[in-house]
Structure formats: structure tokens, C-alpha cells
Chain A
């Protein structure tokens, strides 16, 4: 098992390195002088003096290989460069905003699990019956509604029409805990709708697969209560695939939360990315992409290890 974890971790680290290189090279993949492209806005050609200044600032005047190594060296020191717009270290902004995105994803995951798993189990136990078909149809609709549509409709209905919750925004938990949670509610619910549908489908499919397994019959034959059979011999065995899909979904939300953060004005990492892209603030874009991709790879690694922990057959 140790060897597997080591190998898996090593390949994750290698992948992070590859991603770093790609993000570094991405700037050069665009035809033309990167400095000119970065400074061009609305078709206006930037003055040569500004282009030269930027080239020096980014170190673009140095050989490519040298640039690459100094980029990696900076990375190792935790230096992601300084922002074009306010000259602040990019890493600081990222570290301030990342927890907010993670909080959003975390809250959405909890809600999705609380809705998706029980419904999935219920649907599986009543496979082919009316409840099952109803839940499946609901899940289909949930999966067919893009998260920004859900978010916008939420704002229209719950804020504008019913005046129940604020339309968006953010206050730190330390300042106003209740207000913070209230503001967290709508964005996390908006994400949770589709997420719950994914959890529902996976739970249903896996539980259906487990329901007819021989050990379930053995468990009943032992005289266990139906509740215990369900909990210990059906749901427990379905956890692996569900955990995997939850992990993957959380990973894709690292990028996907951008839409919700935008809709609800939630000052997380991906909202920052959109602004950075709009401002063509390359260090900010690069830093954010790097951090998110690294987190994503790390999360995938974690999912693999968790799966191993849940299934002793893989563990050995």
C-alpha cells in the first residue's frame, strides 16, 4: 500500500510540474509579442516604451530557459509574481480569496450529500417504481439547468420578488456570522442543485448494484435488522464510487464555481480570475490557474487514496 501511495503522489507532483510548464508556456503559444498582446486593449497599439518596460518587468528580454527556471525558483519560494493592477503580491490575494471559494464548495458538497444520498438510496430501493421515475426526472432537470440560470432565478425569486435574502455579496464570518451564513446560503444552494443530482445518480446506480449482491442476502439471513443491512452492508459498500464522484465534482467546482461567484458577487478565487482576465493581468491569471490546477490534482489524489481506504481489496 505504501508503495502505491508513494507512486501515486510522485505522479501527482510530476503532473503539477507539467501544468506549471504549460501555464508558463501558454503566454508564448499566442502568436505575436506577449508584451504587446498583454498591453493591447481594444485594438490600440501600446507605445513602444511601455512594451519595453513590461518586457523587462516580466523578464521577457532574457532567454526562455532562464525565464523558465527563474519562474520555477520563484514558485518554490511561494512567489507568484506581482499584480499588474495594484503591484501587490499575487499569492497574498489568492490566499485571502481561496478559503471563500473552498467554503462555498464545502457548503455545496454538504447540501448535495444530504439531498442526493438519501434520495438515491430511496430510488434504488424502489427501482422502477413511481418514486424512482419522479426522482430521476427531477435529477434530469437539475442536471439540465446551468448553475448561472439557477443562481439568477434564485436572485429574481428570493431577493427581488420575495425579499427574503440579499441578492449577493459577502461579509467575513468574524464580523457578522449570521449575515455571513445567510449570504452563503443562496450560492451554495445554487451549486448544490446540480451537484445533488450527480450524487443522486451515482448513489442510485451503485446501491442498485449492491442490493442484489450475495453478501446482502447473507446479512439478512444472519437476522440483521433491515436498517442495519441497509446501513452496513448496502450503503457502506456503495460509498467508494460515491466518494469518487463527489471528489471529482468538487474538483471541477474549483473552476466551475466561477459562475456562481460571479452571479452572487462572492469574492472568491474564481471571481478574481474573471476580473484578472478582463484586465489582462497576466501574473494574476497565471497564479490563480496554477493554484487551482494544483489543488485540483491534489484533490484527485486524495479521492484515489480515499477510495483505497474504503475498499480493503484495493488496499492490499
Chain B
């Protein structure tokens, strides 16, 4: 609790590297004057703008003073002003923020308003005002800079304190009778130390810039004390005679700020790794445009499946290397058919469904093998596993429409519902804006929206989850697709709404008079019986059983399917009182690397030695329709 916690577990290498560099700079500023003992203020008329010599390695300035010594002393001033100001601001601001956030009431008001007032001035302006009143000096500089940066610390400490305050363990400590001060410093501080540390380095870098700027204006450090800003100021007047004089102080200033900034960035990255520029795994040999085939319509398959996924294999890049998320998956859907793709999270069912219209995250996922054939309404066949962007775009929306799992986040929050549906219609159908608006309205009516005219003008956040899912279904169906992919469309909804949405999809499919096929992706085998004609059960990236819904439910031929069916809670079943909710012990293996046999073997109650040796093939159980990937399907 008392130690600073880095989320990544250990301090990252960039932090160590940048800290070392900064330490080096500080060491030069601290010990440099003891090693290079030349007086930075000793004047020599004869040495005016003298070139580098043994006694003066970087030459002499307009008064013949030693440039190297002035740079070292300038760095000393710059760093001490910056660190002193940042330290005072950090301590003062954090205390104010902690107290304000923890005690509330008057303290909260005072902290926040004071911060507001200081922040009401553009930073440099406030510094100028104070400098003009008190006269330029190091003390003025440090005090004005610390006041300037205090609000930033106060706000961070305040905000973090508020959020930490409500956490359970703080409340627990209060309940144990720990004193307020003790809680403030022992419990809260480690939690807010991270953001404060980032702010500290940011402040140091700002303070160096402002100090240099004020000195440059002649309102900061007073000559003859050397400062980089002052050196640039004078070098500027002589830049035609001695341009190199401009170089050294500028270089020192920029490099110092750069090192502090990089340290700040690496700290920030450690606390919030999302926006990192490093450490993101990539697939080697990503799909290049030359590998994708042009939209060549292939010869229609004999059976005329709406969708035929053949031997699909999808790989993902992870931090520990490439893993295969989908192995050799083959599924097909005939026109007007509803196929349910069932599996636990991690089974590869969503990856399979995203592959169909090329929506896999391009940077980390790759279709490694197989074909995905889609037969359009006109009988053309496209392979979307190898299609280019243009083809995919043509198929998306108009042939293959998708409804996703999260209705709360799948609509763009900044556009009205109607505009989003109209956008889809205009992208896929040859109609004008007005006509598109009418279609959108009729679609909203069709999906059972109350007051559709008003809904068109509403923003997503004004609708409930169920209503948003209806809007998304309306949008998906607005372009009359031949295949609807419903990727867990009911998972995020209340149970009563789930049933409504399910019924809606079923009835819309029936209304299409057998034209629209549906791929219904779900983890809930219980709802499959209500909607699907056929079922494909996936486990660890493979289809383990597939067949007509009735047969699967009546006679499952894979132990996994059987166990899944046993897990469905049933009301009013015989002996229901004593019946416990059944679960399957164990978890889905996260990676199949190194598992030579059946992926379910670890959790299977009828496992045999041979199950660990080879992957069972998907074999026909009855008449080509019902298949199982189990060596011992006959004994189930």
C-alpha cells in the first residue's frame, strides 16, 4: 500500500533510460562547477568572441567570459528554479487538493475557487505581472512559478481523492477508526502518486521553458548571473557576428526540456499504456493488397448456399506470439435458413462472424486459410476472405448486414437515429435523401418502435437499450440484406427485452419470405431452440458439433453439447427442488498451441487416452446433416 504502484508491474526501460539522462544533467549542474572551476562572470576584453581554445573549449562570449562555464552555471540556475518551483507547487497543490477533496465543504470550495482564479490568467501573463511588481529575481521567479502550477496539482489531487475516497478499503479504514490525517497520507497518497508524478515532470519542463522565456525578455534572472534564456537574449543581438553563440544555450535548453518531456511521456505511458507507440504486437506479413483478389465472381456452388465458410483459419497476434483463434471452421447457410453459432466466450464464434464481412481488427488478426463464399441475390459468388476493400464495401450492408452485441455503444452518439439509418440507406441503395428518410421511418415502424417519427430525431443516448437494438436492426434491414449476422444481439439486454428482440428477428426473417438468411451468434444454447433451424457448436476455435436444432437438442452427439444442454436451467422440471444449477468445470483453453488432441479432453467426463493424442475429425452421425467431432460419439 505504501509503495508507488506501477500498473505494468515494474518500472519500464524508457523510464529508467530517461531518468538516467536527467540524473546526468542534474549531476553536471551540481558538480560541474567543482570540476570546471572557471568563473562564469570573469570578463576579458581581449577574449571577446574568441574561438574555442584549451582554456575555453567552447569559446568566449561578448564580454570574453567562458561559454562552457556559463552554460554549466546556467543549467544550475535553470534546473534549480524549475525543480524548486515544481516541488513547492506539488507539495502545496497536493495538500490543498487532498484536503479539499477529503474534507469537502468549505475546504473544497476554497481550493477549487482559488485554483479557478489562478487559472483565470494566461500563465506567462501572471508571471509578468508579478515580475513587474516585485522586480525580477530568482526568488520572485520561484514563487510566481510555484503559484502558477499549484492549481494543476490541486485539481489532480482533488479529483483522484474524490474517486479514491469512495473506494471500499478507504471506507473500511474509516470504519476501523483510523484518523483522518492518517488515512489522507497513508492510504490516499500512494493512489494519487502516479498522476502527480506525471504532473511533476510536466511542471518541471514547463518551468524551465517559462524561466528561460522570462529571462529572455529580461524579466527573469538578473545579469550577471548566467541563465540560458539570458544567454540567448544576448547572443541574439550578436547573431550576425557570432551565430555559434546562439547554438550552445539553445542546444542545452532544448535537450534538457526534451529529456524531461520524454521522461514525462514514459511515465504517462506506464500509467496509461493505451496510447503507447511501442509494444503493440503485429502479425508478420500482414495481408498485402497484391494478395487480395479482385472481385471475380466464382462459379456458383451446386447447393447454392447463401454463405459457405470453408476451412477457415484465423490467427491473432498477442504479446506472447501468434495464436490461432479459429481452426478449420466450415459452416454453411442456405437461403432463408437460420443457423445458430453457439459457444462460450473464447470459442471463436465472434471471430468467425466478423471474418464474414471482413471486420476483423486489421492490425492484429489475419485470415490464414480457407474461403468465405457469399452468394448474392443475383447469384454472384464472392470470396470475402480474399476480397479487396471495394468488394467488401459493396457486400456490406446491402448483402451482409450485421447487428452487434452492444446496442449501447454500437450507434454513434453524435448523430440522430434517423440520420444514421439514412446514411446506411444512401450508401447502399440508389435512392434520394427524402426517399431514404421514408424508408428509415417505415423500418422503425417495422421493428416495432413506438412513436417512430419522434425516434428519427432522437439521439442514441435518449433511447433505452432495447430501443437502440431495434434501431440497429432497423438499420441493418433497411438495405434488404440477403444475410443478417446477429452477433449476440440479446446478450446486453434484460431478459424480457431479449425475448422481444428474438421474436422480432424471427418474424422479420419470416416476413422476407425465405430470402433472408440469418447467422445467429450466441453463447446461450437455451434461446437457440426458439429461433434456429440448425445449430453449430464451437469449442476452442473448432466446430465440435453441427446439425438440425431438433436433433441436437434431442440427441447431442458431443460431450460438450450434452453438458451445455444440461446447463440450461429449466423451471418446473421433475425433481426441480433438489436440482442444482449445473456447470462445466474448468475453462476454455486460451491457446491451442501445444494441445495435440481434443481441446475439450481436459474438461470431458468420458475422456480416453486417445483423446489426448489426435484431434478428432468432424464425422457424420446421420445422413450428412448431423456431425460430431468426438471419437466416442456413439456412446453418448
Contact of B132 among A262, A285, A297 (CB under 8 A): A285
Taken residue by residue from 129 to 161, chain A's Cβ proximity to chain B (1 for < 8 Å, 0 otherwise) reads as 000110010001101111111001101100010
A-chain residues with CB within 8 Å of residue B129 when the two chains form the complex: 23, 26, 285, 289
B-chain residues with CB within 8 Å of residue A164 when the two chains form the complex: none
- Give chain A's interface secondary structure class: helix
- A52-60, A89-97, A110-118, A250-258 - the one binding chain B: A250-258
B412→A222 contact, CB < 8 A: no
For residues 418 through 458 of chain B, which have their beta carbon under 8 Å from a beta carbon of chain A?
A: 423-424, 427-428
- A14-22, A63-71, A77-85, A174-182 - the one binding chain B: A14-22
Taken residue by residue from 145 to 184, chain B's Cβ proximity to chain A (1 for < 8 Å, 0 otherwise) reads as 0000000000000000000000000000000000000000
A237→B396 contact, CB < 8 A: no
B-chain residues with CB within 8 Å of residue A232 when the two chains form the complex: 412, 415, 423
- How far is A189 from B398 in the complex, measured between Cα atoms in Å? 48
Given contacts A152-B239, A223-B424, A312-B414, contact A280 B132 (CB under 8 A): yes
Closest beta carbon of chain B to A208's beta carbon, Å:
5
Given contacts A221-B396, A223-B427, A224-B423, contact A254 B125 (CB under 8 A): yes
- Is the interface on chain B under 10, 10 to 19, 20 to 34, or 35 or more residues? 35 or more
Closest beta carbon of chain B to A195's beta carbon, Å:
14
A259→B213 contact, CB < 8 A: yes
Q: Does A87 contact B (CB under 8 A)?
A: no
On A, residues with C-beta under 8 Å from B are 15-16, 18-19, 22-23, 26-27, 29-30, 37, 127-128, 132-133, 136, 140-141, 143-149, 152-153, 155-156, 160, 204-205, 208-209, 212-215, 217-226, 228, 232-233, 236-237, 251-256, 258-259, 262-263, 270, 273-274, 276-278, 280, 285, 289, 292-293, 296-297, 310-313, 316
B461→A128 contact, CB < 8 A: no
Q: Does B459 contact A (CB under 8 A)?
A: yes
- How far is A251 from B5 in the complex, measured between Cα atoms in Å? 35
B-chain residues with CB within 8 Å of residue A289 when the two chains form the complex: 121, 125, 128-129
A-chain residues with CB within 8 Å of residue B393 when the two chains form the complex: 223-226
- How far is A259 from B209 in the complex, measured between Cα atoms in Å? 11
22 A-B pairs with CB atoms under 8 Å apart are A23-B129, A127-B363, A133-B277, A145-B254, A146-B213, A146-B216, A147-B213, A152-B232, A156-B246, A209-B274, A215-B412, A220-B396, A221-B357, A223-B393, A223-B397, A223-B398, A252-B124, A254-B125, A255-B122, A274-B217, A289-B129, A316-B459
Closest beta carbon of chain A to B266's beta carbon, Å:
11
For residues 373 through 418 of chain B, which have their beta carbon under 8 Å from a beta carbon of chain A?
A: 389, 393-398, 401-402, 404, 406, 409-415
A222→B122 contact, CB < 8 A: no
A255→B217 contact, CB < 8 A: no
A-chain residues with CB within 8 Å of residue B225 when the two chains form the complex: none
B-chain residues with CB within 8 Å of residue A280 when the two chains form the complex: 132
- How far is A253 from B280 in the complex, measured between Cα atoms in Å? 36
A222→B277 contact, CB < 8 A: no
- How far is A316 from B415 in the complex, measured between Cα atoms in Å? 14
- How far is A192 from B120 in the complex, measured between Cα atoms in Å? 23
Taken residue by residue from 471 to 511, chain B's Cβ proximity to chain A (1 for < 8 Å, 0 otherwise) reads as 01001100100000000000000000000000000000000
- How far is A119 from B595 in the complex, measured between Cα atoms in Å? 45
A-chain residues with CB within 8 Å of residue B479 when the two chains form the complex: 223
Residue of B nearest to A140 (CB): B261
Q: Does B265 contact A (CB under 8 A)?
A: yes
- How far is A166 from B538 in the complex, measured between Cα atoms in Å? 72
Contact of A128 among B117, B240, B279, B412 (CB under 8 A): B279
A222→B410 contact, CB < 8 A: no
A-chain residues with CB within 8 Å of residue B133 when the two chains form the complex: 26-27, 29-30, 37
Taken residue by residue from 224 to 259, chain B's Cβ proximity to chain A (1 for < 8 Å, 0 otherwise) reads as 000001001000100110010010001001110110
B124→A256 contact, CB < 8 A: yes
B121→A19 contact, CB < 8 A: yes
- How far is A24 from B132 in the complex, measured between Cα atoms in Å? 14
B-chain residues with CB within 8 Å of residue A278 when the two chains form the complex: 218
B254→A144 contact, CB < 8 A: yes
Residue of A nearest to B249 (CB): A149
Residue of B nearest to A234 (CB): B412
B402→A221 contact, CB < 8 A: yes
A258→B401 contact, CB < 8 A: no
A19→B134 contact, CB < 8 A: no
- How far is A218 from B415 in the complex, measured between Cα atoms in Å? 13
Closest beta carbon of chain A to B279's beta carbon, Å:
7
B120→A296 contact, CB < 8 A: yes
Taken residue by residue from 214 to 226, chain B's Cβ proximity to chain A (1 for < 8 Å, 0 otherwise) reads as 0011110000000
